[in-house]
Chain A
Amino acid sequence: MIDINKWQSQVRKGILEFLILLVLEKREHYGYELVKIIKDSIFDEFSEGTIYPLLTRLQKSALIKSRWVTRETGIPRKYYEITDEGRNSLKLMKATWSPISIAIQKLVNES
Chain B
Amino acid sequence: MNVIPKFIERNSNKIWNDYFRRIRKNLILLNQQQKQDLIKELEVHIYESFLESKGENETEKLLNALERMGDPDEFLKPLLSKELLIKGTKSFSLVAIFKGLYLNIYSGIKAVFLSLVFGLGFFLSVIMAILAVAKLIIPGIVGLFMFPDGNWSFGIISNTGGADEILGYWIIPICLIFSVALYIFLTHLVKKVFLKG
Which A residues have a C-beta under 8 Å from some C-beta of B? 10, 30-32, 35, 47-50, 52-53, 56-57, 61, 70, 74-78
Partner of A53 from the list B49, B68, B69, B78 (CB cut-off 8 Å) is B78
Q: Which residues of B contact A10 (CB under 8 A)?
A: 108
The majority secondary structure among interface residues of chain B is: helix
B78's closest neighbor in chain A, by CB? Answer: A53
In contact, A52 and B75 (Cβ under 8 angstroms): yes
- A49, B1: Cβ atoms closer than 8 Å: no
In the complex, how many angstroms separate the beta carbon of B83 from the nearest chain A beta carbon?
10
Q: Given that A48-B68, A74-B1 are known contacts, is A56 also in contact with B197, CB under 8 Å in the complex?
A: no
Given A52-B79, A53-B78: 20 more A-B contacts, CB < 8 Å: A30-B44, A31-B41, A32-B44, A47-B74, A48-B49, A49-B42, A49-B74, A49-B76, A50-B70, A52-B41, A52-B42, A53-B76, A56-B79, A70-B1, A75-B3, A75-B48, A76-B40, A76-B44, A78-B40, A78-B41
CB of B49 within 8 A of CB of A49, answer: no
Contact with A along B34-47 (1 / 0, CB 8 A): 00011011101101
Q: Are B44 and A77 in contact (CB under 8 A)?
A: yes
With A and B bound together, what is the CA distance between A66 and B37 in angstroms? 11
Report how far A32 CA is from B3 CA in the complex, Å.
14
Question: What's the A-B contact tally at a CB cutoff of 8 Å?
Answer: 62
A-side interface mostly: helix
**Is B72 at the interface (CB under 8 A from chain A)?**
yes
How many angstroms from the CA of A75 to the CA of B38 in the assembled complex? 15
27 contacts between A and B (CB under 8 A): A31-B41, A31-B44, A32-B44, A32-B45, A32-B48, A32-B49, A35-B45, A47-B69, A48-B45, A48-B49, A49-B42, A49-B69, A49-B72, A49-B74, A49-B75, A50-B70, A50-B75, A52-B41, A52-B42, A53-B78, A53-B82, A56-B38, A57-B197, A76-B1, A76-B3, A76-B44, A77-B44
The contact of B75 among A31, A53, A61, A76, by CB within 8 Å, is: A53
Q: Once bound together, how far apart are the Cα atoms of A70 and B3, in whole Å?
A: 11
Nearest B residue to A10 via CB reads: B108
Q: Are B45 and A31 in contact (CB under 8 A)?
A: yes
